Amino acid sequence: MSSEYKLSPSAAPRFLICTASLPHNTQFTESEITLKGNLQHLVAFLRLDQIINGKDHTAELEKLTDKNRWYYSERTKDLKVQWDSTCDKTVDNYVAYIKQLIAEFKPTSVLLEYRLKIQFYDNVLNGVIDCAMILPDGNIIIIDLKTGRVKVDANDNKQMLIYGHGLIQQLHKKGMELPKEIIISICQSLVNNTQAIRYTLKQFVDWYVDQAQSMQEINTHNLVYRPDAKACKYCQYRANCNERIKKGVI
């Protein structure tokens, strides 16, 4: 049995804790913050695609990074942002970090903006990995570019752990052996936050097993409120949630 809800890996820190949050978070609202984040991800991809794959994106990059031009949303009318010095810092540091990892680990394959269909407790989740590296020993590194100022922790990062499972599934389908180690990394330059956490395959499997209760609630539609500081932080129901108020979650 699968869920009736669309499960997004980026929302996993919320719904894997408070399953009852799902019906209250069904719409994505684009903002200047999310649009500027998309712009930085696009520029980072184009720059790395030039470096790693030899593609020529010079003309497009000049337009996107022109501080006198506007970058417009394709979803929201009149929403627009401009490239600025914080964008330079974020993308420059991310590109340098990827180059450093390539020099250190000498991966056999580097995947950029890699799209996934992830099997997760009878559900199919869609995701995009900013950068993944397949190492000569079969181990993998997954790197996530974060463009905001709210610090993101690589440790027990549910979104990245789900991405890891999806990548392992796809590589295994292609005949590759399961990795013995998975490295999850966050690159968030604006708050000087670059982290890398190593997981063994057993730790990955154990984490997956630990999500069984929450996913059973979701798949059987028996949702449970579990107010939690992290889960409630960006919940669209936060202001009206009586359970959060009763538990005193700030």
Tell me if 14 sits within 8 A of 21, measured CB to CB: yes
pLDDT one-digit tens code per residue, 150-159: 999 999 999 9
d(CA 76, CA 159): 26
Average pLDDT over residues 129-146: 98
User: Does residue 133 contact residue 102 with C-beta atoms inside 8 Å?
Assistant: yes
Q: Give the pLDDT band of residue 237 (cuts 50, 70, 90).
A: very high
Comma-separated ranges of CATH 3.90.320 domains in the chain: 20-219
Arithmetic mean of pLDDT, 63-78 = 94
Q: pLDDT, tens digit, for every residue of 189-212?
A: 999 999 999 999 999 999 999 999
pLDDT(17) > 70: yes
Share of the chain above pLDDT 70, in %: 100
pLDDT in tens, 223-233: 999 999 989 99
What pTM did the predictor assign? 0.94
The answer to whether residue 37 scores a pLDDT higher than 80 is yes
CA dist 221 → 2, 21, 114, 163, 215 (Å): 10, 12, 31, 24, 10
Residue 177 has what pLDDT? 93
Nearest CA to 31 out of 41, 39, 21, 23 is that of 39
Residue 26: the pLDDT is 86
Q: Compute the average pLDDT of residues 48-56.
A: 98
Residue whose C-alpha is closest to residue 13's, from 155, 165, 187? 155
Pick the CATH number of 20-219 from 2.40.128, 3.30.1490, 3.90.320, 3.30.70: 3.90.320
* pLDDT band (50, 70, 90) for residue 1: low
The answer, yes or no, to whether residue 4 has pLDDT greater than 90, is: no
Compute the mean pLDDT over every residue in the chain, rounded to the nearest whole number.
96
Q: Please determine, for residue 178, whether its predicted confidence score (pLDDT) is greater than 70.
A: yes
What does the pLDDT read at residue 169? 95
Query: Residues 119, 129, 111, CA angle at the centre, nearest 5°?
Result: 110
Residue 92 pLDDT exceeds 80: yes
Is 80 exceeded by the pLDDT of residue 2? Answer: no
- The answer on pLDDT for 3 being more than 80 is no
